Amino acid sequence: MSLNMTLSCPMPKLDFDTITLGHGSGGLLTHKLLDAGVFNLLANDILDKQHDGAFLNMSGQVAMTTDSFVVSPIFFPGGNIGDLAINGTVNDLAMCGAKPEYISLAFIIEEGLTMQDFWKVLVSIKEAADQAGVKVVTGDTKVVDRGKGDQLFINTTGIGHVLPEADIDENRIEVGDHIILSGQMAQHGIAIMSIRDGLEFETEIETDSQCLNHLANHLVSQFGQDIKWMRDPTRGGVGTVLSELAKGTKLGIDLKQSLLPIDEQVEGACEMLGLDPLYVANEGLFITIAKPESSQRIVETMQGFSEGQNATVIGEVTSNHQGQVIMKSTIGGSRVVSMLPGEQLPRIC
C-alpha cells in the first residue's frame, strides 16, 4: 500500500533537496515547504484555513492525549515515524473509549534531512490518518541545527468525543474480571532492534504499528460497561502496564505464560537478545479488562477483525497477592512481574 500511495502522491518539484534552518524560520522558506507539500497532501476543510489554530465543533465529553515520537531509526520494517506518530495518538484516544477525530502534527527536523525522506514520512502520515479516519487540523514545523536533533521528531496531539457507551475506569475493575490481549506481543520492539546499529539480524519481523480505534470503538459500542478498562502496552510492554495497574488498583493479577500470544520468530529473537517479551514495546496491541461473563464473546468479536485475530484471554484479576502481577510459567513455577526497572530499548517510539 505504501508503494502505491507514494506513486500516487509523487513528491512535488522543489528547488531544494534537503531541509535547512531557513525552512524553520516562519518566513518564505517555511511557506515554500508547507505550500509545496504538506497542505496539499493532508488537505481537509479545517487545515485548509491555515490559521494559527483550527476551529472544531465539539459537544460533550472529549478526550485529549499527546505523544512525542523519537524512534530511531525513523524508517524500520513495516513502517516509519510518520504512521507510528498517527497510530500512537489514535490508539491512546481509542483506549480512553473515544473516537479519534482531530490530530495536531508538529515536526522538529534536523537540518540536512532530505526532502525525499520527509516526503515519505508525510505520505505515511496521510495513509495512517486516512486509515484511522482522523483529520490533521493544525501543525508546526521547527528546524534545529545539525547535531542538535536526530533527523526527525514528531509530536501528535489528538482529541475526539468519548463514546456514550464508554465507561473506562480502573476503579470499576473487580476480582474475577478477565484480562484479554488483542494479539501477539513484542513485535514493534523486535522490528526496531533488528535494524539498530551493531545489533542487526536477519528477520522478517515487522512492527505491529496499526490503528486500533475501529476495533476498540466497536467493542465499546457493542459491550458498553462490560468493558472496564483498555490500554495499549507501548513503551514498557505488557508487563509494565499490568504491573502499574495492579499497583494502582491494589488488586492482584494472575497471568499464564502459556496463554500469552507471541510469534515464534519474535520469541526466538527475544531469547537471542536476552529480552523478556513482556517488556518489549508494542504499537498495535491492546489489553482489555472485561466482565468474565462477556469475555468469550468479546474475544470472538475481536477475532473477527484483522487487528484482533489473535485475541485471547491471558489472565484474570484476583484477590490474592494484592498490588502484584504473578505469572505462572509454562514449566509450572511462578514469578512476580514488576515494572521495567530501567531502559530496555531506548527510543523505541
Say how many residues touch a copy of itself, by CB under 8 A: 79
Spatial separation of the C-alpha atoms in residues 25 and 317, rounded to whole Å: 54
75 three-state secondary structure: strand
Q: Is 253 in the site for a copy of itself (CB under 8 A)?
A: no
Spatial separation of the C-alpha atoms in residues 172 and 194, rounded to whole Å: 40
Spatial separation of the C-alpha atoms in residues 195 and 263, rounded to whole Å: 19
Locus of grid cell 458498553:
224
Using CB under 8 A, pick the residue from 29, 34, 195, 326 that binds a copy of itself.
29
Q: Are 213 and 65 in contact (CB under 8 A)?
A: no
Residue numbers 275-334 binding a copy of itself by CB under 8 A: 279, 281
> Residue 270 Cβ, how far from a copy of itself at the closest point, in Å?
17
Residue type, 342: G
Residue numbers 162-181 binding a copy of itself by CB under 8 A: 162, 168
The DSSP string of 251-265 is -EEEEEGGG----HH
The cell for 125 is: 502520515
Please count the residues of the chain.
349
Spatial separation of the C-alpha atoms in residues 192 and 70, rounded to whole Å: 12
Using CB under 8 A, pick the residue from 8, 17, 53, 332 that binds a copy of itself.
53
Is the Cβ of residue 193 or residue 281 nearer to a copy of itself in the bound state? 281
| Contact range with a copy of itself by CB under 8 A, out of 122-130, 132-140, 186-194, 308-316 | 132-140
Is the Cβ of residue 100 or residue 293 nearer to a copy of itself in the bound state? 100
Spatial separation of the C-alpha atoms in residues 244 and 11, rounded to whole Å: 44
Q: Is 196 in the site for a copy of itself (CB under 8 A)?
A: no
Using CB under 8 A, pick the residue from 6, 18, 20, 312 that binds a copy of itself.
20
Is the Cβ of residue 22 or residue 112 nearer to a copy of itself in the bound state? 22
The whole-angstrom distance between residue 130's C-alpha and the CA centroid of its chain comes to 16
Is the Cβ of residue 124 or residue 151 nearer to a copy of itself in the bound state? 151
Using CB under 8 A, pick the residue from 59, 197, 198, 333 that binds a copy of itself.
59
Is the Cβ of residue 130 or residue 140 nearer to a copy of itself in the bound state? 140
Q: Is 54 in the site for a copy of itself (CB under 8 A)?
A: yes
Q: Are 64 and 102 in contact (CB under 8 A)?
A: no
Q: Is 63 in the site for a copy of itself (CB under 8 A)?
A: yes
Using CB under 8 A, pick the residue from 2, 68, 222, 312 that binds a copy of itself.
68
Q: Is 52 in the site for a copy of itself (CB under 8 A)?
A: yes
Q: Is 337 in the site for a copy of itself (CB under 8 A)?
A: no
**For residue 270, which of 186, 148, 162 has the smallest C-alpha distance?**
186
Q: Are 283 and 184 in contact (CB under 8 A)?
A: no
Using CB under 8 A, pick the residue from 124, 155, 184, 213 that binds a copy of itself.
155
Q: Look up residue 195 and give its DSSP letter.
A: T
Residue numbers 90-129 binding a copy of itself by CB under 8 A: 92-93, 95-96, 98, 102, 104-108
